[in-house]
Amino acid sequence: MDKMPMTDKAHDMSTHDMAGMPMADNTMMQHGGQMMHMGNLKQKFWVSLIASLPVLVLSPMLKIAWLPTLTFPGAGWVTLILATFLYGYGGAPFLTGAVAELKAKRPEMMTLIAIGITVSYFYSLYAFVMNQFVDPTAHVMDFFWELATLIDIMLLGHWIEMNAVMAAGNALQKMAALLPGEATVIAADDSHTAVPLPQVKVGDHVLVKAGEKIPADGVLIAGTTTVNESLVTGEARAINKAVNDHVIGGATNGAGTITVAVTGTGDSGYLAQVMKLVQDAQQEQSKTEGLADKVAGWLVYIAVSVALVTFVAWWALAGEFNWALERMVTVLVIACPHALGLAIPLVVARATSIGAKNGLLTRKRQALEEADRLDVVLLDKTGTLTAGNFTVAAYGSWDSDLADGTLLATMAALEQNSSHPLSVGILNAAKHEQLPLPEATAVTTIAGTGLSGQVNGRQLLIVNERYLTEHHIAYDQDTVTRWAAAGNTVSILVGDEHAFGFVAQGDQLKPESPQLIAGLKARGITPVMLTGDNQKVALAVAKQLGITAQDVHAELKPDAKERLVRDYQNAQHTVAMVGDGVNDAPSLARADIGIAIGAGTDVALDAADVVLVRSEPADILHFLDLAHHTNRKMKQNLWFGAGYNIIAIPLASGILAPWGILLSPAIGAVLMGLSTIVVAINAQTLKPERS
């Protein structure tokens, strides 16, 4: 799957492009940016397989294997033509990938394969010329059969892996699709003009009708509406907006028609900045070297070194150029075993199939390999560790002129246009108490704090404790502390710099959350809780779960998550991030393993390496178990697929030739075939064990 060239017209984002916005295609961002479309890979395999059959039938290898062979005048030319086609067509992805690896000074799997097919082809071309034109009695053996089988097996291996693992990294495409292709710009004479999005400038006034997507970041200068920002920020689905409120490009306008003064386009827009974070993180993560690549990298240096020494030694000792050349070629060909191309893909295919049946979608092979090194897991509190269903635990007035029920009804009136979990809890409590709600007007959201609005002509706010502290507003600290320490989120009604009363709401832990935390600790992994809630609530929940206070990060804004991932990585930790919103996409992409909750947004799912379809915390443990068993099978297969080189390469070099022991290409081919069979059988023995 890695390093394969790709063309994908589906990723044309020109209609969404804004100046400077990162739109790079990253469907398979792997090792030097080399990519391949699955359909193209499938086609290459089948065409190459068909072209290989005549090459194998006409090969002298069949005679050596005591099988009937076909020959006729000009058979050699037919083989040469087909082999040349195979080298240029089927081998092209590996040659291109090898060039990228060498430019990056990181020779790995593609380089090893390229060496094998290139040496096979050009030595066979040399053999053809020798046998046809120079010395027909020399019978120099060609490796056209090796070229054909090597290309077929390696294409098959990459196809199997790509078919098993879903395309990783459509997050940028999904983000770009959040923006409309054009905007309605209002001119100085109040005329309206549809303008392509890249031409929208800071300071332009754009008209956004009901149901349309907001084309760019800006400030609302006319009209009132509700805006759905959930796909962009992960916050409440319906947020009230009035004049002077900020709006985010990509959010969906509600029922009102509004005019927006553009404040951010291109790189300065919120969505573009999130996309840049995702892109940078994915490019950084693509540098991760897989197990097979490490083994292949070692084999490249070993094979080339041994081959050169073999050629020089035999030419010096025996004085026969053809013999020395054949020994060198045999070493290089044997060093790229067929089984190595299937060792990892077959295990990945088996693992992803098992995972899918158990609610785990693995989108990137590296996630399975990195899991054994994992030592930190960052977990969002709401929706991951808790159910996200807030219920009112207590409420009360601190003002003698305001009854408890009136307090709750007033807060419910302000909250009734929001679908935030805290709002829903207050509304449900008021409904349960059958309280009549007063009319609330001009309700707007205070980012990261609460909301404001007018009830009976009085300006009121619903805020958190941090707001009261920052604005030096007196309140009953003992009450707030007591309920917050019990794990409740406390909302406070404020008006005219006076705190009227509170509502405390609790979010229930998911039943599997304690099991998840205990399981992570048992595996030597540190669980870290992230939340936008206040520190007291966060610590109370952490205490119930057994998470230490130093591993709790509270009152976080969205951009702080990606920074936390980087901080842990810079401290030499291998990090997994669990999230579900667009605002989690950068941290999901940045983490060594990004785990998305299945109920989250498409962008988060596409930025992640693993998707928990059932949104159950315990499935994180199941993924770790599956990854552990998968890693064990991968390592076993790498030994079966490449380990025989420990014996094969020295024998192929002729080190034991003085004692009559020499590994011929034919015997090498038999050993390769046996190792391929062993690798295939071993991969199928992977079981969905859970510890």
Same structural domain, 200 and 247: yes
Residue 499: inside a domain, yes or no?
A: yes
In this prediction, residue 577 carries a pLDDT of 93
Sign of CA dihedral 157, 89, 294, 578: negative
Q: In whole angstroms, what is the distance from residue 426 CA to residue 480 CA? A: 17
The model's pLDDT over 150-198, given as tens digits with 9 standing for 90+, comes to 899 888 887 876 665 544 344 455 555 666 778 899 998 888 999 888 8
Range of the domain at 270: 178-279
Task: Look at residue 239 and tell me whether its pLDDT is greater than 70.
Answer: yes
Task: Look at residue 274 and tell me whether its pLDDT is greater than 60.
Answer: no
In 10 A of CB 386, how many CB atoms? 24
Q: In whole angstroms, what is the distance from residue 281 CA to residue 397 CA? A: 48
Residue 16: inside a domain, yes or no?
A: no
Q: In whole angstroms, what is the distance from residue 423 CA to residue 408 CA? A: 11
Task: Look at residue 32 and tell me whether its pLDDT is greater than 80.
Answer: no
In the numeric block, the tokens 């008006």 are attached to 495
Residue 308: inside a domain, yes or no?
A: no
In this prediction, residue 54 carries a pLDDT of 92
Task: Answer with the one of 225, 252, 279 that is the final residue of a domain.
Answer: 279
Q: Would you state the structure tokens that stand for residue 104, as one six-digit string?
A: 């990056």
In this prediction, residue 548 carries a pLDDT of 94
Task: Answer with the one of 486, 509, 532 that is the final residue of a domain.
Answer: 509
Sign of CA dihedral 294, 300, 305, 310: positive
| 94: helix, strand or coil | helix
Same structural domain, 128 and 200: no
The model's pLDDT over 340-363, given as tens digits with 9 standing for 90+, comes to 778 888 888 888 888 877 878 787
In this prediction, residue 488 carries a pLDDT of 86
380 sits in which H/E element: strand 376-380
Least Cα distance to 120 among 304, 333, 341, 311 occurs for: 333
The model's pLDDT over 497-548, given as tens digits with 9 standing for 90+, comes to 999 999 999 888 888 899 999 999 999 999 999 987 778 888 888 998 999 9
Same structural domain, 48 and 130: yes
Residue 127: inside a domain, yes or no?
A: yes
Q: Of 32-46, 62-76, 89-103, 212-226, which range is least confident?
A: 32-46
Which residues, 6 or more positions from 268, have their beta carbon under 8 angstroms from its beta carbon? 202, 217
Task: Look at residue 438 and tell me whether its pLDDT is greater than 90.
Answer: yes
Active site positions, annotated:
380
Phi and psi (nearest 5°) for 49?
Answer: -60, -45
Task: Answer with the one of 455, 478, 509 that is the final residue of a domain.
Answer: 509
Task: Look at residue 560 and tell me whether its pLDDT is greater than 80.
Answer: yes
pLDDT: is 619 or 579 the higher one?
A: 619
In this prediction, residue 435 carries a pLDDT of 94
Number of domains into which the chain is organized: 3
Residue 231: inside a domain, yes or no?
A: yes
In this prediction, residue 62 carries a pLDDT of 58
In this prediction, residue 606 carries a pLDDT of 64
Inter-residue contact 512 to 617 (CB < 8 Å): yes
- In whole angstroms, what separates CA 645 from the centre of its chain? 34
Same structural domain, 109 and 183: no
Task: Look at residue 433 and tell me whether its pLDDT is greater than 90.
Answer: yes
Task: Look at residue 269 and tell me whether its pLDDT is greater than 80.
Answer: no
Identity of the amino acid at 82: L
pLDDT: is 91 or 380 the higher one?
A: 91
Task: Look at residue 280 and tell me whether its pLDDT is greater than 70.
Answer: no
Q: What is the mean pLDDT of the chain?
A: 80
Mean local confidence (pLDDT), 316-328: 85
In this prediction, residue 399 carries a pLDDT of 92
Same structural domain, 141 and 208: no
The model's pLDDT over 244-256, given as tens digits with 9 standing for 90+, comes to 888 888 788 887 8
* % of the chain surpassing 90 pLDDT: 31
> What single-letter DSSP state applies at residue 142?
P
CATH number of the CATH domain containing 495:
3.40.1110.10
Q: Of 72-86, 316-330, 605-619, 650-664, which range is least confident?
A: 605-619
The model's pLDDT over 84-126, given as tens digits with 9 standing for 90+, comes to 999 999 999 999 989 998 998 888 888 888 998 998 899 889 9
| 291: helix, strand or coil | helix
In this prediction, residue 459 carries a pLDDT of 94
Residue 216: inside a domain, yes or no?
A: yes
Task: Look at residue 561 and tell me whether its pLDDT is greater than 60.
Answer: yes
Same structural domain, 43 and 163: yes
Same structural domain, 407 and 501: yes
Mean local confidence (pLDDT), 278-284: 50
Residue 233: inside a domain, yes or no?
A: yes
In this prediction, residue 228 carries a pLDDT of 72
Q: In whole angstroms, what is the distance from residue 484 CA to residue 478 CA? A: 10
For residue 374, is it left (φ>0), alpha (ψ between -120 and 50) or beta? beta
Same structural domain, 184 and 77: no
Residue 221: inside a domain, yes or no?
A: yes
Same structural domain, 199 and 154: no
Inter-residue contact 182 to 195 (CB < 8 Å): yes
Which residues, 6 or more positions from 409, have their beta carbon under 8 angstroms from its beta carbon? 430, 435, 436, 437, 438
pLDDT: is 599 or 413 the higher one?
A: 413
Q: Would you state the structure tokens that stand for residue 562, as one six-digit string?
A: 């990606």
In this prediction, residue 176 carries a pLDDT of 59
In this prediction, residue 108 carries a pLDDT of 82
Task: Look at residue 30 and tell me whether its pLDDT is greater than 50.
Answer: no
Mean local confidence (pLDDT), 645-661: 83
In this prediction, residue 551 carries a pLDDT of 96
Inter-residue contact 501 to 408 (CB < 8 Å): no
In this prediction, residue 21 carries a pLDDT of 39
Same structural domain, 162 and 35: yes
Interaxial angle between packed helices 421-432 and 404-415, expressed in degrees from 0 to 180 and rounded to the nearest 10: 130
In this prediction, residue 648 carries a pLDDT of 81
Q: In whole angstroms, what is the distance from residue 5 CA to residue 33 CA? A: 8
Phi and psi (nearest 5°) for 377?
Answer: -125, 120
CATH number of the CATH domain containing 226:
2.70.150.10
Least Cα distance to 403 among 432, 373, 435 occurs for: 435
The model's pLDDT over 389-432, given as tens digits with 9 standing for 90+, comes to 788 999 999 998 999 999 999 999 999 877 677 888 899 999 99
Same structural domain, 191 and 131: no
- In 488-632, DSSP assigns E strands to 488-495, 498-509, 526-530, 552-553, 575-579, 593-597, 610-612
pLDDT: is 118 or 604 the higher one?
A: 118
Same structural domain, 138 and 187: no
Mean local confidence (pLDDT), 13-19: 38
In this prediction, residue 394 carries a pLDDT of 95
Inter-residue contact 551 to 528 (CB < 8 Å): yes
> What single-letter DSSP state applies at residue 15?
G
